[in-house]
Amino acid sequence: MLETEHGPQGGDELNLLKRGANYGWPVITYGINYDGTIITKETARPGMEQPLAYWVPSFGPSGLAVYTGDKFPKWRGNVFLGALAGTHLRRLVLEGTHVIHQELLLRGLGARFRDVRQGPDGYIYLLTVSPEGLLCRVEPAP
pLDDT in tens, 59-97: 999 999 999 999 999 999 999 999 999 899 999 999 999
* Average pLDDT of every residue of the chain: 94
Statement to judge: residues 46 and 66 lie in one domain: no
Statement to judge: residues 1 and 71 lie in one domain: no
Residues of the chain above pLDDT 70, percent:
100
Domain boundary among 27, 51, 75: 51
Statement to judge: residues 35 and 67 lie in one domain: no
Q: Rounded to an integer, what distance in angstroms lies between the CA atom of residue 34 and that of residue 21?
A: 27
Statement to judge: residues 16 and 73 lie in one domain: no
Statement to judge: residues 45 and 67 lie in one domain: no
Statement to judge: residues 70 and 111 lie in one domain: yes
pLDDT score recorded for residue 131: 85
Statement to judge: residues 82 and 123 lie in one domain: yes
Statement to judge: residues 79 and 135 lie in one domain: yes
Using the predicted structure, report yes or no on whether residue 20 has a pLDDT greater than 90.
yes
Question: How many structural domains is the chain composed of?
Answer: 2
pLDDT score recorded for residue 116: 97
pLDDT score recorded for residue 99: 97
pLDDT score recorded for residue 8: 83
Statement to judge: residues 26 and 85 lie in one domain: no
Contact between 86 and 103 under an 8 Å Cβ cutoff? The reply is no
Statement to judge: residues 40 and 67 lie in one domain: no
Using the predicted structure, report yes or no on whether residue 139 has a pLDDT greater than 90.
yes
Statement to judge: residues 19 and 74 lie in one domain: no
Residues spanned by the domain of 93: 59-142
Statement to judge: residues 89 and 131 lie in one domain: yes
Name the burial class of residue 61, with classes exposed (0-12), middle (13-18) and buried (19+) by CB atoms within 10 angstroms of its CB.
buried
